Amino acid sequence: MRIVPRKYFYNPLLIAAAAIIIFTPVYFLSVSKFNIKLVKAESTKKKIYYSDINSDDVSEKIEYYGYVLSDEFKRATVILKSQNNSIQGIWNHNGRFLLNSEPIITDYNNDSLSEIFTFHRRKDSIFLNGINPLKKDHFFIQDRFLDKSRIVNGTVDLKIYGVASNDINGDKYKELIFSINAGFSLQPRNLYIYDIKNDSLRKSPESYSHLASNHAINIDINNDGVEEYILQTHASANLTDLDVSFPDNSSYLMVLDDSLDQLFEPYVFHSPLSVLYSYPILIKNNIHFLSYFRSSQNRSNDSLFIFNAKGKKITGRSLEEKGALVKFPTCFTGQNRHPVLKKASVLLDNGQLLTFDTNLKITQRRNILYDPVYVISPIKISVNNKPGYGIVSENKISIADEKFNLLGQVAVDNTKGLRKFFLIQRGKTKRPQYFIHGTEKQYIIDLFINPWYKNWWLVLLFAWVTLSFTVYLIKTVNALIREYNMSKLLTERENHKTQLARELHDELGSRITGLRLKIASLQQDKFQNDLNELSVDLQKTHEEVRSIIYNLAPPHITQNNFSNLIKQLAGNYKTLNSFQITVEFLPDTNIFNNIDGFKQKELYRVVQEALNNAAKHSGAKEIIVQFIKRGSVLELFIDDNGVGFETEKSITRMKGQGIKSIETRIKMLKGHFFIYSAENKGTSIAIQIPLKTQKNGRKKLFNFVSRRP
């Protein structure tokens, strides 16, 4: 079977497929995978938290605030609400609200119901409370005394943060690990472990070192199955008496064991108004500490250090970016513990991410954000549950993956005090949303996969179908235009031929006849032979002219005389050429009944063109013209035993010599045309014309090649 590449190259489906293949990379480059939108923004003085209290995959809303009883007294209050804002419980405390305290929400007894632990104060005393969400206005722990502070100017300056909730003693009940850090009140500045079941409290040794940031990181440093606590320290320089334990005119690398004793002698950075942030990092399969030191008095001392697990300094380096603050190293917080850093990395507030090797040499420098970075909060990506970051910058909230690739960014009008990101669970069938808490405004944002990205295959399929149809439509319209133009051209040719035949008949034919009559009237014996030869030549010329006239303007065709006209046409060619022509009509000559005159006229011209080509080029001795009617299809086969041809080039050449005309006429009849030839094996033309509209599309051509000997 001869394969024609152009047939496939011009296939609309393949053209569209090629375009889609080229377009696909452009599509994915131009369409972002994620979208983000602002769902809600509100102003409130309440501290809002979201947590799935009853393990039903839907987060409850927890409002923690100071209920105003007087200008000087705000009672600590907790309100638990569902997501549709219906109140599920209210708990009023027996003391003042601590503005800088955070509730601890954890399922301490493993009953799939999270309890809420809060703090309040009365005068200089600090108390712990435990709330069972199923028991409204009832505390299962109430007014549990923790420690005392120092009242200054009628108040205390305290920050209380939850560090972790772990089963430390193996009794299947979790203990609370939290920190209390006093500012100008000076004390306490300690870490605490409260055993809820046994109502026992442990406290770290006395220290005047000011705790910074989130105060502590819990991590199993020596792989003994027990967690230690890395303190974040700040030299606030609130003390004038330096003859105390760890005065706050210095920052410290300080690590506590599970008994809250010093794991090693703290490493001291003698610099007032400085801060030291330390994070666990894995180097050669051993836990080390990556520490960032910053001095507010002398920014040229900004430095990074690596310490081993025993607090010994391994290496250090100053930071070249003196004007930029290190906001957060690339460290992810887990449920209760910090995963270990695999690389030493820091993010500067100018949006530059620096990565270091184990000798603290910079190995990579990336610009990831262009806005000043205010807050970096480790989060889980809502759409895939992978680690990532919530980022607060100037009037923008962003979500980034673990490599700080931006996933989405939304503009907001106020970012003051925005610090923590909470996931709002909305059920198994809905993706979580983010809640961002601020001192003046709070926002709910939704990160989701872009539908144009998620349904890329549907978009590309639609584009492929649309493009295929468009290409098909263009090809069809162009084919119709070509067909119309060819039909118009053929009609003009027919009219021209008819006019030319009439003029030949009227002028040249009559003159030749007149010449013959004049010659016949000449009866001179002397020139009789010459006159007879001249008369014969004129007779042949007259016959050729009549043949030309016949070819230019065939006789009037009707349904009853078409077969006779075909035979007559064959007879004319047989007379003028030295080959035999056999004409067959199967099953009989009635096959042309009910075939309209237009089809008959075009078929007549097709046979005429084919015989003309054979006479000029084939050198055939025998030609067979066969009409076969098969149901609603008429087939025409024209075979000769001439020289034939071999190559595609020959077909292209022949299309300028009548084949093109045949092909055009067959297309006008909605038929199919095929030509087969081989060198010294003659040429065969196969034509199939539908006599009725084909419901099933193209019919396969009769395998006429098998007819050949």
In angstroms, rounded to a whole number, what is the distance separating the alpha carbons of residues 75 and 98? 9
CA nearest neighbour of 333 among 377, 270, 268: 377
Q: What are 291's strand-pairing partners?
A: 278, 305
* pLDDT band at 6; cut points 50, 70, 90: low
- Residues 6 or more apart from 592 whose CB is under 8 A from it? 559, 562, 563, 600, 627
Would you mind telling me the total number of residues written for the chain in this entry? 709
- The token pair at 261 is 């004793």
In angstroms, rounded to a whole number, what is the distance separating the alpha carbons of residues 266 and 252? 6
On whether the CB atoms of residues 608 and 553 are closer than 8 A, the answer is no
pLDDT at 423: 87
In angstroms, rounded to a whole number, what is the distance separating the alpha carbons of residues 114 and 593? 92
Percent of the chain at pLDDT exceeding 70: 82
In angstroms, rounded to a whole number, what is the distance separating the alpha carbons of residues 378 and 333? 6
pLDDT at 499: 66
Given a cut of 90, whether residue 119 has pLDDT beyond it is yes
* pLDDT band at 330; cut points 50, 70, 90: very low
Between the alpha carbon of residue 169 and those of residues 111, 247, 309, 701, the distances in Å are 18, 32, 24, 88
In angstroms, rounded to a whole number, what is the distance separating the alpha carbons of residues 659 and 620? 17
* pLDDT band at 563; cut points 50, 70, 90: confident
Domains of the chain: 559-709 (3.30.565.10)
pLDDT tens column, 483-496: 777 777 767 766 67
**DSSP E strands: which ranges in 381-500?**
387-393, 396-401, 406-411, 420-424, 433-437, 441-449
Task: Please give the mean pLDDT across all residues of the chain.
Answer: 82
Identify the residue with better confidence: 550 or 29: 29
Calculate mean pLDDT across residues 361-390.
Answer: 82
Given a cut of 60, whether residue 322 has pLDDT beyond it is no
* pLDDT band at 435; cut points 50, 70, 90: very high
Identify the residue with better confidence: 516 or 489: 489
pLDDT at 334: 36
- The token pair at 145 is 């005394």
Phi and psi at residue 462, in whole multiples of 5°? -60, -45
* pLDDT band at 92; cut points 50, 70, 90: very high
pLDDT at 89: 93
What are the DSSP calls for 224-272, one per residue?
A: SS--EEEEEEE-----S---SSS-TTSEEEEEE-TTSSBSSPPEEE--S
- Residues 6 or more apart from 110 whose CB is under 8 A from it? 172, 173, 174
Given a cut of 50, whether residue 99 has pLDDT beyond it is yes
Calculate mean pLDDT across residues 683-697.
Answer: 76
pLDDT at 111: 93
Helix (H/G/I), strand (E/B), else coil: 1: coil
CA nearest neighbour of 269 among 246, 296, 292, 251: 251
Calculate mean pLDDT across residues 646-661.
Answer: 60
Percent of the chain at pLDDT exceeding 90: 29
In angstroms, rounded to a whole number, what is the distance separating the alpha carbons of residues 46 and 65? 5
Given a cut of 90, whether residue 632 has pLDDT beyond it is no
pLDDT at 257: 93
pLDDT tens column, 245-288: 888 889 999 999 999 999 999 999 988 889 999 989 888 888 99
On whether the CB atoms of residues 684 and 637 are closer than 8 A, the answer is yes
* pLDDT band at 370; cut points 50, 70, 90: low
Minimum mean pLDDT range among 39-43, 593-597, 640-644: 593-597
Label residue 109 exposed, middle or buried (CB < 10 Å: 0-12, 13-18, 19+).
middle
CA nearest neighbour of 269 among 284, 291, 290, 244: 291
Given a cut of 80, whether residue 289 has pLDDT beyond it is yes
To 5 degrees, how large is the angle CA 310–CA 316–CA 319?
140
Given a cut of 70, whether residue 501 has pLDDT beyond it is no
Of 12-21, 369-378, 532-541, the range with the highest mean pLDDT is: 12-21
